[in-house]
Amino acid sequence: MDDLYREVIIEHYKNPSYRGSLDPHDISFEDENPLCGDHIRVDLRIDANGIVTEAAFDGHGCAISQASADLLLESIIGKSVDQVKQLKKGDVMDLLGIELGPVRLKCALLPLKILKAGVYGLGEATDDLVEAE
């Protein structure tokens, strides 16, 4: 019935695998979606070869943003920072496996925005980071 809330989303929302924090960490960045108050912080550990070895997120928000964060972090473990920099909107949408309107899209992309702002070492998470290029 509710395709939009595939079980996987509610599952990752209710029982996230990557919720927590990493201390120490190599990269940490947080931001929020002022539209809905969704707030996310991402911590990463990167090894000498530039590979993401550990990842964690914390924050609060809707099922979409929280599940998106959990799925996204799951997907980047073992990837290089350069690969993370290449991630796009489409990658997140594939992970979620649902279609979203413009407002919910912002929720879905918030974790990626924050992740990319973190790995790029930017002071701000702007929409440019995740808009289709």
- Contact in structure between 98 and 3 (CB atoms under 8 Å): yes
When the beta carbons of 66 and 76 are compared against another protein, the nearer one is 66
Binding residues for another protein restricted to 83-102, rule: CB under 8 A: 101-102
The owner of tokens 């929280």 is: 66
Long-range Cβ contact pairs of 81-84 (< 8 A, separation 24 or more)? 81/46, 81/50, 81/51, 81/52, 81/119, 82/50, 84/52, 84/115, 84/116, 84/119
Q: Phi and psi at residue 116, in whole multiples of 5°?
A: -70, -40
Using CB under 8 A, which of 35, 53, 94, 97 touches another protein? Answer: 35
Using CB under 8 A, which of 63, 80, 89, 91 touches another protein? Answer: 63
Closest approach of Cβ 86 to another protein, in Å?
22
Q: Which residues pair with 19 in a beta bridge?
A: 57
Closest approach of Cβ 125 to another protein, in Å?
11
Helix (DSSP H) and strand (DSSP E) numbers for the chain: 5, 3
21 binds another protein (CB under 8 A): no
When the beta carbons of 51 and 63 are compared against another protein, the nearer one is 63
62 binds another protein (CB under 8 A): yes
Query: Using CB under 8 A as the criterion, which residues of the chain lie in contact with another protein when the complex forms?
Result: 1-5, 10, 14, 34-39, 60-64, 101-104, 107, 126-127
